C-alpha cells in the first residue's frame, strides 16, 4: 500500500482529519487518535487490537505485523505499510472508528454502506 492509498482510506471515514498526537503527524476522528504512520519504520499504528489477536497476527504475518517496547502494554499492533493489505487496513480502522466516532456518525456511516 502506498502513502496516497493509506491516506485515501483513512480520510474516507466520516470526520477523519489530519492532526497531531504527541507532536507527531496523525489522523483523528472526533478529536481522538485514529492512526498514524511511524516515519521511523513506515509502519501504521493500529489501535484496539487485543493482545491475543496481536500475537496471532505477528505469528501469522511477521513480515507485516510487529510491535516495539513502547506498544507492548497497549492493545495495538504496528503494521508495515508496504506489506499491509488495504482491505485489512480498512477493517482495523472500521473497528477503531466504531469505538471513537460519535454514535450518530457511526449509524449514518453504516446506513450508507448497507450495514445493519
Share of the chain above pLDDT 90, in %: 86
Reference 36, options 68, 47, 27; nearest CA is 27
Report domain extents, the chain. Answer: 3-102
pLDDT at site 115: 53
Reference 49, options 13, 81, 73, 16; nearest CA is 73
Q: Whose grid coordinates read 497531531?
A: 20
61, burial (CB in 10 Å: exposed 0-12, middle 13-18, buried 19+): middle
CATH of domain 3-102: 3.90.1150.30
- Grid coordinates in use for 34? 485514529
**Cα separation of 99 and 111, whole Å?**
17
Task: Say which DSSP state 70 is in.
Answer: G
Which one is predicted more confidently, 113 or 64? 64
The CA distances from residue 114 to 3, 93, 98, 110, in Å, are 28, 18, 15, 6
pLDDT tens string 10-37: 999 999 999 998 888 899 999 999 999 9
| Mean pLDDT value of segment 37-42 | 92
Amino acid at each position: 500500500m502506498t502513502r496516497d492509498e493509506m491516506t485515501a482510506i483513512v480520510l474516507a471515514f466520516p470526520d477523519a482529519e489530519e492532526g497531531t498526537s504527541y507532536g507527531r503527524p496523525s489522523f483523528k476522528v472526533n478529536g481522538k487518535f485514529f492512526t498514524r504512520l511511524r516515519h521511523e519504520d513506515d509502519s501504521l499504528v493500529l489501535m484496539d487490537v487485543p493482545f491475543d489477536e496481536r500475537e496471532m497476527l505477528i505469528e501469522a504475518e511477521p513480515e507485516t505485523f510487529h510491535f516495539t517496547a513502547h506498544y507492548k502494554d497497549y492493545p495495538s499492533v504496528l503494521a508495515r505499510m508496504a506489506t499491509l493489505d488495504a482491505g485489512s487496513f480498512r477493517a482495523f480502522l472500521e473497528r477503531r472508528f466504531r469505538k471513537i466516532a460519535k454514535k450518530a456518525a457511526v449509524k449514518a456511516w453504516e446506513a450508507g454502506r448497507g450495514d445493519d
